[in-house]
Amino acid sequence: DIEALKNFIWTGYVKNVTEGWTIQEFFNTHDLSGYDKVFKLSGRYSLGPNFDLNQYNNKCTFRSQGALTDGTTSIASTAWCFQGQYFNEFKTKWDSTIVFMLDAWSKGCIKDLESSIWNGFGMSEEERQITYVPFLGIIGIVNTHDGKNLVVSQ
């Protein structure tokens, strides 16, 4: 039903904005530059048997979920990592991500956190300085649009 799908999209957007803002507020109140690695792992996920810490030895590590129809790359926000020495740069890019997402909203367009990261981190791969890994090594439960839970490994 179309109303259920609209509610699913709206709920997802509210979750994305809330998650993005919460991370932004955490960055504004904590200096993470003294840590070797800083990980974000979504609450419904855990490390799986294929988790490999060595694949996160990059300035900034995400998993790409593929290209969207507008050419934007969707980036998995379930887990990511950056090196603490790049905290201020990462924080600035995160701030740009939130600005991008809210600017799209003000123009009547819903942009999820995943595509907003890609846009907020820069206009080219050179600017973004993201290393994409093929597999995060995590396992979790996601909700589908029909209300069922699905166990996924990423």
Q: For 18-42, what is each residue's pLDDT tens digit?
A: 889 999 999 999 999 999 999 999 8
Distance separating alpha carbons of residues 97 and 24, to the nearest angstrom: 10
Least confident of 33-42, 45-54, 138-147: 138-147
pLDDT at 10 over 80: no
Whether this model's pTM surpasses 0.75: yes
Amino acid at 136: L
pLDDT category at 47 given cuts 50, 70, 90 is: very high
Give the mean pLDDT of the chain.
87
Q: pLDDT band at residue 94, thresholds of 50, 70 and 90?
A: very high
